[in-house]
Amino acid sequence: MPERKKVTLPSLFRKVTDNVPITMLTCYDFPTAYFQEQAGIDMILVGDSLGMTMLGYESTLPVTMEDMIRHTQAVRRGSPNSWLIGDMPYMSYQPSVETAIRNAGRFMAEASCDAIKLEGGTEMADRMAGIVRSGIPAMGHLGLTPQSVSALGGFRLQGKGAQQARKIIEDAKSLEEAGAFAILLEMVPDRLCQLITERAKTCFIISLGSGLHAHGQLLIYHDAFGLYPRFKPRMAKVFANAGQVIQDGLMEYVKEVTERTFPQPENWFGMPDEEYEELLTLLG
């Protein structure tokens, strides 16, 4: 496959201008990053969802900067040309603007990221502005923000009522004014997503379970490929059931080893007769 050009902020905004949807997926490891690179995914998010999808936690809250940096480095090695976004984990930016800038800087310096993402609206706009002023592109995240799942009352639709929807519109405006290059809208009604997309002037909007009227789409990789055994959210379509393929393969492996039909001669290595004879002599 011919190597593709590096995705850049200008090339992403060109897609927006040309009305071509931006493709985005989460990714957490080298081989998956390699496949996504080959598929030409525009933006890769190393989400703190890795706490659930890769590490088996019940939420994203236990994820550390060290977890994030290690996985992001692996993804960068597999996908040199996508626009790579490091997701700021819980308490890596909430305490202060300075904490936020330091940890955003780690993603750029240690994992060769192109940008970072953080959750929250108006109340996080000063963190967003500080990071952007430091020369680091930053993406916002509104609607269902998993780091605040307890305060939000669970993994549920956000902005269904008019008052809450207006607050999300105001939050989007604050993030745009703070310099966000993009905003992710997770699980808000499609009409709210459309209103925010139409109002966006200097940033673009990515939808996760928020309908078609955004500038691009994001899915959690494990949801889209049947790799998360605990549940499948409604917003995710399973594009290929890799989880089932792997499960079937594992059962076949167990069966063949148990029945001694694996391995076969093509799966092992022989030794020349004369070397074997000499070995037996040496052993007495």
Closest chain position to ligand KIV (CB): 47
Pairwise CA distance, residues 45 & 33, whole Å: 10
Tell me whether residue 186 is one of the annotated catalytic residues. yes
Binding ligand KIV (rule: CB under 6 A), the pick from 36, 47, 120, 228 is 47
> What is residue 179's DSSP assignment?
T
Across-strand partners of 208?
A: 186
Cα–Cα distance for residue pair 1/35, rounded to 1 Å: 12
Compute the distance between CA of residue 192 and CA of residue 211 in angstroms, rounded to an integer. 9
Q: Which of 26, 92, 103, 197 binds ligand KIV (CB under 6 A)?
A: 26
C-beta closer to ligand KIV: residue 165 or 228: 228
In order, the DSSP letters of 29-43 are: SHHHHHHHHHHT-SE
- Which CB sits closer to ligand KIV, 129 or 183? 183
d(Cα 44, Cα 26) in Å, to the nearest integer?
A: 6
23 is an interface residue for ligand KIV by CB under 6 A: no
**Per CB under 6 A, 118 contacts ligand KIV:** no
Is 67 a residue that touches ligand KIV (CB under 6 A)? no
Cα 104 to Cα 175: distance, rounded to the nearest angstrom? 16
Choice among 37, 186, 259, 278 that is catalytic: 186
Q: Is 92 in the site for ligand KIV (CB under 6 A)?
A: no
Stretch that binds ligand KIV, among 14-22, 43-51, 102-110, 248-256 (CB under 6 A): 43-51
Give yes or no for residue 49 binding ligand KIV (CB under 6 A): yes
> What tokens appear for 221 in the block?
């990789």
- Residue 33 as a binder of ligand KIV (CB under 6 A): the answer is no
164-193 footprint of ligand KIV as x/- string (CB under 6 A): --------------------x-x-------
Q: Establish if 69 lies at the interface with ligand KIV (CB under 6 A).
A: no
Question: Nearest Cα to 150, choosing from 26, 28, 274, 59?
Answer: 59
In contact, 88 and 113? CB cutoff 8 Å? no
Q: In terms of DSSP bridges, do strands 22-26 and 115-117 run parallel, antiparallel, or are they unpaired?
A: unpaired
Binding site for ligand KIV (CB under 6 A): 26, 45, 47-49, 60, 87, 141, 146, 184, 186, 208, 220
